Structure 1
Amino acid sequence: MAEHKGMRPHDVVVLLKLVSVAHQEEILVKSEALQQKALAASLGMSQSEISASLRRSRVARLVAQDRQQVHPQALFEFLCYGLRYVFPAEPGPVYRGMPTAHSAPPLNALIRSAETYVWPSAEGTARGESIVPLYPSVPFAARQDATLYALLALVDALRVGRVREIILAQDLLKKYILRG
């Protein structure tokens, strides 16, 4: 049995990218090496980080043995009930960056707030309280994939949100991940 030394924040990013790919019904190359290379390029990570991440997620039973399919119910439960305790976030100083949590789609259409949360980024279009992303390349990856951006913003709402924001984020994540 493989030893599991715990999940890392970027494991969540990799899992959400797999959900995004499935949500968009893109066809993945069946070769695991080519899939990992494509994931690495799209997420701004190394191929070895992707491989180790998928291995940890498999041991945690968040992905199937072939490392290509996410176990939707397990991922949903982990995100909704464990993420904010394992990878908490605290709003920091005001920076220019890319909106996240309730300040980004899809929650920004449902919640009006005077506070803005951003991932610090030189290419950002908004100013707000900074939220440290789960991985430094998150703004890059989110700019490449609108579905991934929505998923990452919803996850940040779980990490920093108040009760109303968390409930709305959980409902939307359920639609993305469980397709229901």
Structure 2
Amino acid sequence: MKNTRLPPWLLAAALTALTACTVTLPPSPPPKARAPEAPAAPAATARERATPIPPHDIDLSGNCQRTEEDGFREDAHLRVASNDVRVLTWTLWVGRHGSCHFDLTEFRQTRKTPHIELRALDDSGCTLMVWQDPRRITLAHAHCERHCTPGIYEQAWPVLFDPRSGACAEIR
């Protein structure tokens, strides 16, 4: 095999073509020193992160019976004295699709503060919770599918009581 050299003009043309296709990026700027963060204003912090609801001694003689326009209905009776649940019967209906039912005889109170908590005796993991904020007292449930008609649990909402009257709280 014969060793051939490229003519200098062809070598120069090839190098020119290669450099014409090469992109040269400017050097990246040096990393900036991170300035210490100034503390946020109290109003901004409150908007960014919800503050916990302070514990309250809950005393309630609540009866909430109402039917919504969409067919959702509830019948809840809750008596609480100094954070001890004395009476609890709650049935809610999700239109004509089914219902959920909770009765104090099927639960044991496990917590009084910062919110009231009741656990199902059947080891299903069902938990009822009661807490108070300035506008209402909420009775809510978690992991209570066994207490409901199959297929409706995701639509079963908490019941809200007016802390002054014990009636259903206004939602708006």
User: Shorter-chain TM-score category?
Assistant: under 0.3
Structure 2 length as normaliser, TM-score?
Answer: 0.26
Greater length-normalized contact order (CA 8 Å, ≥ 6 residues apart): 1
Structure 1 length as normaliser, TM-score?
Answer: 0.25
- Structure having the higher helix fraction is 1
The structure whose Rg is larger is: 2
- Structure having the higher strand fraction is 2
